[in-house]
Every structure is written in structure tokens, then in C-alpha cells.
Structure 1
Amino acid sequence: MHTNLFRTLLQENRSSMGTRILSTWPIMVEAVGASKQFDYIEFVAEYAPFTDVDLENVVRAAELHQMSSMIKIDFQNRFYVAQRALAAGFQSILFTDHKSAEEVRKSIEAIRADSPQDGGRFGKPTRRFIGFEPNLSQMEYAQMLRDVVVAVMVEKRQALDELEAICSVEGVDMVQFGPSDYAMNSGWNFSEHKVEVRDAEKRMIEIALSRGVQPRCEINTAQEAQPYMALGVKHFCLGDELRNNMVYWNKEGKALRDIVVQKG
């Protein structure tokens, strides 16, 4: 049974920093932890292959470095994956592709305890999340599920239109804008509608803060945080394992090829 460090940061109204990984190799998580700069890792399961054992190993590596853990999951099989991820030890779920407050409500119901107090659909699995039987009582387990940090992607026009209602759903802690999906959902190419998409993101931030829900923003450089902080944002996810490698390979690979070509 581990303290949910992410929940603690929210309760104490402190900022948080995470980073995204796509690899299930635990060494990658340990490398993030060794930097001592991040509060949690986000495993982007929406874009990566994984097994149940992989989920356990990712979380173990995070715990080894006193980091919390978030998992980003697909929409269609979200109930199953969310429950398996929590049983493995993840402390936060990032739900994707929701269009309505009712969809968000159903997702949260799936990860709340099946108890009269919580009205959820999640039983008590004998997995590492509870520290194995009989170390955790049923009501202690229910409280652990209440402590799970719930974040919701706002990446559809319908979700932005319903954002006040989404932020009012009990259990929603954070929202995050998805510019690429929002552009596609609007029938746009992002490159041709950057102003409109960024205006939508600002609107999301304003509505969320007015409703007491924390906006979380993905950035690729530290300097990108400053304009968001001016809007009141204090939760960031910096960088992406795959993108970081692609930027390096393209930049330095081209530089090396140019040198080699020039030398004949």
C-alpha cells in the first residue's frame, strides 16, 4: 500500500511535473526517476503495446524512485484497462476521447469501489494495488480508489461545449487539452487553424479553473510553461520519450549525414 503522491500534491495545492513514456522497459522509468526532476511518469498506453506484467513493472520502477504514476488509456476498452492498471498500482488515470459529462461519469463509476458509499463497479482485486490479502480492509481499499487522480482529455468540440458539466462531475480532478484531436474533430488541419485551436485551449483552462478543476498542459520545453503559468496553470507534462528521440535522430542524424556527405 503506497501513498498516492499525486493526490498529495493536489491536496496541498502544489504544482506537479510529469513526463511521458511509451516503452514498458522499467529502466526507462528508472532513468526518469534518476533525474530527480519529476513527480510522476505518464505511461501512454493509448499508443503503446503492453501486458499486465508490463504495467506492474512500470509502476514498481516508479515506486522505487518515489514517483507517482499515470496511465493514458483508449476510450473503447477504458473500463477494463483502467481497472487492470489500478490493480497493478497506477495512481492516476487519464481518460481520452470523451464527448459528454455522462461518458465521464460512467468512466469514473468504473474505477470507484462497488460499495453503497461509492456506487462504483470495481470489486476488490487481490493484486499489488492493495498490498495483497489480508493487509488492507475493504473500506481502506475504497478510500484508495477515491484517492486515484482522475484526468480527462478535452479533445472534442462536444467536450469543450460541455466542459462546465464535465468539471462538475464528482471525481474529476484535472482536464487536459488535445490540440491535434480537437482540430481533427473540428474538420481542420491544426497547421491551418492554430489560432482557433489555441483559443479553445485557453477557454478550457479558464472554465476549468473557474470550476475548481486543475488544467494540465503538455509542453516540450521548459520555456513553454511560462504563458500557461500566466493563465493559472501549475501542472505540466514535459516531453515525450518517442518525440524526444525523433527530434534527436532527425537533428543530429541530418547533421552527421551532412558532414559525412561533405567529406565524400
Structure 2
Amino acid sequence: MIRENLLRKKLESGEPTVATRIWSTNPFITETIGNSENFDYIEFAAEYAPFSQVDLENICRAAELYNMATLIKVDFQNRGYVAQKAMAAGFQAIMFTDHETPEQVRESIRLTTPATPDCKGLYGYPMRRFIGGQSHVPPMTHAQRVKQVVRCFMIEKVAAMENLEEICSIPGVDMVQFGSGDWGMNQGFDRTDRPEECKAAEREMIACALRHGVRPRCEITSPEAAEYYKSLGVKDFCLNDEMAALRRFWFQDGEKLRKLVKD
């Protein structure tokens, strides 16, 4: 069965998108998110969480039950291997981290585009779930599906900001997202110490992306926070993070209950 890339479809039609980020590989978590009918796709934080290739397939199966797309956030060092295996499992989007130069971005795109004369990529014809077994989907049909995978790049290094115009002009860059934590650390400070400086850099990234027809994606911790970004032209949001939401619950509500039972 050829599955339509739901995220690509929304981007090409100019529709807004809403996601949430998970760390858990338990497909029940993905199913529960899908059951809410509030999210276009889930982001799996593979950069942070342990996982197996079977986990990746099960996340995709669960998302497909609810007509959701899937994005995986991968480490820089092993990005080619993990991105290719995730695509073979059925992921429809890849988020690349820690890039600094346009050359690195071009290489990541080459690693995740089909090995055809027009694309000149490095992704072949694997006998995996993505094509339903090698005899099920013809190679060129598979190649067309690979082309549809959405590629998002974190802008979280000083060098990446300096190279932003060129990065946003590279064919194959579909989305960008600012990473204030890494961007601040790259300069030797915590983002909480210079919030306005981080906001200004993020606004610069958003404006540059829009000039080049690239979709800026923003992480928010509350629905109300979307208004600020909407005023800047942003249409793509990731609401909250599984571990961050649980941590706030455990630390804040847990502390309130602890104090209450002590009184």
C-alpha cells in the first residue's frame, strides 16, 4: 500500500500544522495522541531517547492508524544511518540537528534522497516496511516516495546562523527550527540568561526562512504562545514535549501535594 506523505501534503497546500514531541517508544503513547484528533504528526525525539528499529516501525504503525504523519529528530554524527532506517520504517519527515555549514546540509539531503539520475542521492531500494517488501513497490515508485520525505533542519549553532541565507536557499530544505539552548551554549551562555537575544535570533531565522519559501517551525509550551509566532508568519508548531510535561507535573504538582500533606 502506497501511503501519502501527510505532512508534505499540508506543506504544499499551505496549511498550518500541529505536532507534539514524544520520547516514549511505546506505541500506546502514539495511539493516545492520535485518538485526540488534535495533531497532524508526532515528533519522536530519537536524539534524546533510546530506541530500536522495531520501535520505529511500531511508532509508524500506531500513527498510521490515526492518519498522523511521523517525524524523527536524529543526532548529527549518525544521522545518515538513523534517517535511512527511520524512512525505511515509515517515517515521513526527518529533523536534522547541529548542522553548521551549507555543505553539511547538502550532504544530509544527499543521504536521504533517492539514488536516481535526477536526484543523485544515496538512498537505495531497501527491502523494508517502507516499500512493503522489495517485490511490492517498484523502485521508481519508491524513489518518488523518498522525494516526498520532509526535511527539517535545526538552526542551533552560531555558524548555522551565519550561513542561514545559503542554508535556506538549498533545494530540499523544507523546514527550519531555531534551537535556543544549543545556540546559547555554543556562545557560552544559558538561554535563560539572555532570553531577548535568543528571541531576536529566532525572529531573524523566521524572517529569513519565509523569504526563501522555507517553513519555520516553532516549539511552544502552551497554545497561547502560538499567537506571537503567528504574527511573525509561522504556521507550524510543536506543542510541548512528553518529558517536559511530565517533569512539570511531577515537580510542580508533586511539590504542592507534598506540602499539602505535611500541613
Which TM-score applies when normalising by structure 1?
A: 0.98
Residues 12-64 of structure 1 deviation map (CA, whole Å, 9 limit, x = unaligned)? 00000000000000000001001100000000000000000000001100001
1:236 aligned residue: 237
2:164 aligned residue: 163
* In 1, Cα distance between equivalents of 2:165 and 2:61: 36
Aligned-pair distance for 1:199?
A: 0.4
Matched residue count: 262
Any idea what SS the aligned residue of 1:47 has?
Answer: coil
Aligned-pair distance for 1:133?
A: 2.7
Range with greater deviation from structure 2 (248-257 or 52-61) = 248-257
2:150 aligned residue: 149
Aligned-pair distance for 1:132?
A: 1.7
Which TM-score applies when normalising by structure 2?
A: 0.98
- The answer on whether the counterparts of 2:7 and 2:40 sit within 8 Å (CA) in structure 1 is yes
2:133 aligned residue: 132
- Please tell me the root mean square deviation across aligned C-alpha atoms, in Å: 0.7
2:220 aligned residue: 219
1:119 aligned residue: 120
Letter paired with 1:54 = D
Aligned pair 1:259/2:260, yes or no?
A: yes
Aligned-pair distance for 1:251?
A: 1.7
* In 2, Cα distance between equivalents of 1:251 and 1:191: 19
Range with greater deviation from structure 2 (36-45 or 187-196) = 187-196
Aligned pair 1:245/2:246, yes or no?
A: yes
Any idea what SS the aligned residue of 1:45 has?
Answer: coil
Aligned-pair distance for 1:190?
A: 1.3
What is the 5 A alignment of 1:20-99? 20-99=21-100
- The answer on whether the counterparts of 2:92 and 2:149 sit within 8 Å (CA) in structure 1 is yes
Letter paired with 1:227 = Y
1:194 aligned residue: 195
Range with greater deviation from structure 2 (182-191 or 1-10) = 182-191
Aligned-pair distance for 1:193?
A: 1.2
Unaligned 5+ segments in structure 2 are: none
Q: Report the identity percentage.
A: 49
* In 2, Cα distance between equivalents of 1:60 and 1:83: 17
Aligned-pair distance for 1:128?
A: 0.9
1:205 aligned residue: 206
Residues 80-133 of structure 1 deviation map (CA, whole Å, 9 limit, x = unaligned)? 000000000000000000001110000010011111111001110011111223
Letter paired with 2:177 = Q
Letter paired with 2:262 = V
- The answer on whether the counterparts of 2:125 and 2:134 sit within 8 Å (CA) in structure 1 is no
Any idea what SS the aligned residue of 1:24 has?
Answer: coil
Any idea what SS the aligned residue of 2:47 has?
Answer: helix
* In 2, Cα distance between equivalents of 1:105 and 1:193: 32
- The answer on whether the counterparts of 2:216 and 2:236 sit within 8 Å (CA) in structure 1 is yes
* In 2, Cα distance between equivalents of 1:55 and 1:252: 32
* In 1, Cα distance between equivalents of 2:201 and 2:63: 34
Range with greater deviation from structure 2 (246-255 or 229-238) = 246-255
Range with greater deviation from structure 2 (123-132 or 71-80) = 123-132
Letter paired with 1:4 = N
